[in-house]
């Protein structure tokens, strides 16, 4: 099993040969070959093949297929209930190969020596973090509780406070097993991530992970051989869910940090190394170990370090900075890295209404590329203009590229106006088009019978444009 083929090299034929090949259609597809192709593309679940799962004769084949199709990086769940977070489960190294799943989970730290009020506030703030980006809410995912006291009693109290105040999954951090145990006894069902097993404490940590059925971080800073030996040992010991930490270094060792993460991910994805096929954790919080005169410098360092870890394979991050200017670029970067690179981000075409438009209100037009649409929408909203916005289906392309690529044509605009019955909404026949579609103006006028006004090139100037040019 050690030299298994990479996910990308898996051929539908190999998968097909293990299937029942009866073309029973129980999976909803016409034949087993179609099912095999979808399996290889990760577009369908294996268990939809009912005979495979249910009939004894296929048990071996099922096991084999499961081995072939399981992600090279194991998926690990932290926490329980609705807010539980899945990490890892990676199929590939590069986002252009297949969409990456399970976006990097971001945890914010608290300590067992924080005044109660501060701890609760920090936990609430973490859970309350929210920013709407392209119509999606960006949020933080976990709370990391560090035992700075090394005192089991204090840790117990802190765990209690945290679980009373949030549903977010926990990372319990201490190198002392008795401290973690105290925490686990307080929240036995929380299914936290335990940080961390080292070469010195691994047996006790393994016992805790097994007893409380928790995933466990393996910490071997800058020593992948030790890391690998420890995962081997812990797996033999009976721990199932591991998370790997080869250390996050900033000023001295940043090059090691990136090289280690890259080696770990490549060993899993390209070499099929099961011992390293686990989620990776980064701790940008180590930026705070370095002295600086003002906290903003640590925040700045932590922010850029975290961004590099998001790009380079980290499945989970522990951070200290809770500042908006640190977390906003990181949550947006994470969203960017974890979108499907094959799929243009699009919104539904149609007529959107802003404010309370009347039959004399302006009619504007844009494309259905999500970024374009939300930018225009937010400009209209912030200006408080009453109007209609016709969103033309350009297959998710922006204005200039859809004009160039002939996805935005006069035909299409005329057709959309007609289909959406825009003439029933207003008395006038004036359409404001984006400045970047100016060259379509004559043709749109001709085909639709609407008078075309060429609007600004940037939607931020829409309010000014309307003020000057409308009525």
Query: Using CB under 8 A, which residues numbered 385 to 414 contact another protein?
Result: 395-401, 404-405, 407
Residues linked to residue 106 through DSSP beta bridges, in sequence order? 317
List the interface residues with another protein, window 73-92 (CB under 8 A): 75, 89, 91
The stretch among 56-64, 357-365, 383-391, 447-455 that binds another protein (CB under 8 A) is 56-64
List the interface residues with another protein, window 110-129 (CB under 8 A): 111, 113, 121
Strand pairing class (387-392; 350-354): antiparallel
**Residue 18, interface with another protein (CB under 8 A)?**
no
Contact yes or no for 169/83 (Cβ under 8 A): yes
List the interface residues with another protein, window 190-219 (CB under 8 A): 195, 199, 202-203
Which of 16, 35, 62, 155 contacts another protein by CB under 8 A? 62
* Residue 449, H or E segment: none
**Residue 224, interface with another protein (CB under 8 A)?**
yes
**Residue 174, interface with another protein (CB under 8 A)?**
yes
**Residue 51, interface with another protein (CB under 8 A)?**
no
DSSP 325-390: HHHHHHHHHHHHHTS-TTS--B---EEEEESS--TTS-EEEEE-BHHHHHHHHHHHHHHT--EEEE
**Residue 2, interface with another protein (CB under 8 A)?**
no
Say how many CA atoms lie within 13 Å of 163 toward its Cβ: 21
Structure tokens at 305: 């370090």
**Residue 289, interface with another protein (CB under 8 A)?**
yes
Residue linked to tokens 């010991």: 237
The stretch among 24-32, 160-168, 295-303, 442-450 that binds another protein (CB under 8 A) is 295-303
**Residue 37, interface with another protein (CB under 8 A)?**
no
Residues linked to residue 244 through DSSP beta bridges, in sequence order? 218, 280
Which of 26, 70, 83, 154 contacts another protein by CB under 8 A? 70
Beta strands in 81-221 (DSSP E): 85-88, 105-111, 131-133, 136-138, 142-146, 170-173, 193-197, 216-219
The stretch among 11-19, 24-32, 303-311, 357-365 that binds another protein (CB under 8 A) is 303-311
Instruction: Tell me the closest approach of the beta carbon of residue 428 to another protein, in angstroms.
Output: 27
Sign of the Cα torsion 198, 202, 206, 207 reads: negative
Residues comprising the chain, all counted: 471
Burial readout 326-357 (b: 16 or more C-beta within 10 A, e: otherwise)? bbeebbebbeeebbeeeebbbbebebbebeeb
Which of 141, 257, 409, 416 contacts another protein by CB under 8 A? 257
Which of 156, 191, 320, 412 contacts another protein by CB under 8 A? 320
Beta strands in 58-169 (DSSP E): 75-78, 85-88, 105-111, 131-133, 136-138, 142-146
Which of 186, 361, 372, 448 contacts another protein by CB under 8 A? 372
User: Mask 265-284, x = binds another protein (CB under 8 A)?
Assistant: -xx--xx-x-x-------x-
**Residue 63, interface with another protein (CB under 8 A)?**
yes
* Residue 103, H or E segment: none
Instruction: Tell me the closest approach of the beta carbon of residue 237 to another protein, in angstroms.
Output: 5
What is the rounded end-to-end Cα distance, in angstroms, of the chain?
73
Structure tokens at 402: 């859809």
Instruction: Tell me the closest approach of the beta carbon of residue 260 to another protein, in angstroms.
Output: 8
Instruction: Tell me the closest approach of the beta carbon of residue 139 to another protein, in angstroms.
Output: 14
**Residue 9, interface with another protein (CB under 8 A)?**
no
List the interface residues with another protein, window 422-451 (CB under 8 A): 435-436
Which of 3, 43, 82, 348 contacts another protein by CB under 8 A? 43
**Residue 242, interface with another protein (CB under 8 A)?**
no
- Comparing C-alpha atoms, which of 147, 85, 69, 80 is closest to residue 315? 85
């Amino acid at each position: 099993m050690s030299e298994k083929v990479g996910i990308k090299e898996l051929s539908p034929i190999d998968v097909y040969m293990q299937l029942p090949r009866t073309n029973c259609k129980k999976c909803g597809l016409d034949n087993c070959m179609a099912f095999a192709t979808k399996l290889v593309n990760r577009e369908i679940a294996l268990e939809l093949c009912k005979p495979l799962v249910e009939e004894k004769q296929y048990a071996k084949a099922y096991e084999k297929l499961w081995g072939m199709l399981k992600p090279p990086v194991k998926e690990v769940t932290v926490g329980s209930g609705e807010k539980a977070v899945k990490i890892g489960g990676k199929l590939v190294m590069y986002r252009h190969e297949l969409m990456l799943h399970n976006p990097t989970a971001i945890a914010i730290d608290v300590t067992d020596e924080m005044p109660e009020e501060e701890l609760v506030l920090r936990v609430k703030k973490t859970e309350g973090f929210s920013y709407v980006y392209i119509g999606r809410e960006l949020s933080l995912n976990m709370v990391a509780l560090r035992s700075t006291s090394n005192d089991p009693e204090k840790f117990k109290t802190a765990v209690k406070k945290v679980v009373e105040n949030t549903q977010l999954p926990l990372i319990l951090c201490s190198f002392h097993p008795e401290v973690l145990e105290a925490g686990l006894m307080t929240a036995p069902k929380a299914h936290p991530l335990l940080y961390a097993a080292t070469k010195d404490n691994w047996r006790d940590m393994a016992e805790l992970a097994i007893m409380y059925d928790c995933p466990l971080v393996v910490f071997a800073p800058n020593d992948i051989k030790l890391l690998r030996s420890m995962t081997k040992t812990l797996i033999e010991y009976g721990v199932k869910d591991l998370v790997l930490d080869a250390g996050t270094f900033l000023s001295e060792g940043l090059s090691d940090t990136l090289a280690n993460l890259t080696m770990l991910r490549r060993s899993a994805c390209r070499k099929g190394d099961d011992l390293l096929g686990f989620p990776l954790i980064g701790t940008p919080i180590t930026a705070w170990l370095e002295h600086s005169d003002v906290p903003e410098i640590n925040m700045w360092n932590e922010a850029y370090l975290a961004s590099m870890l998001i790009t380079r394979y980290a499945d989970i991050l522990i951070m200290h900075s809770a500042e908006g200017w640190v977390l906003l670029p990181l949550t947006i970067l994470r969203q960017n890295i974890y979108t499907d690179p094959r799929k243009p981000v699009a919104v539904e075409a149609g007529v959107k209404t802003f404010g309370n438009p009347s039959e004399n209100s302006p009619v504007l037009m844009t494309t259905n590329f999500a970024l374009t649409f939300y930018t225009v929408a937010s400009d209209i909203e912030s200006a408080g203009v009453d109007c209609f916005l016709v969103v033309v289906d350009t297959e998710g392309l922006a204005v200039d590229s859809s004009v160039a690529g002939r996805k935005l044509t006069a035909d299409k605009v005329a057709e959309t106006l007609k289909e959406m019955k825009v003439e029933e909404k207003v008395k006038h026949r004036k359409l404001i088009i984006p400045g970047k579609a100016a060259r379509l103006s004559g043709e749109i006028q001709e085909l639709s019978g609407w008078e075309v006004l060429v609007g600004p090139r940037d939607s931020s100037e829409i309010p000014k444009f309307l003020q000057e040019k409308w009525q």
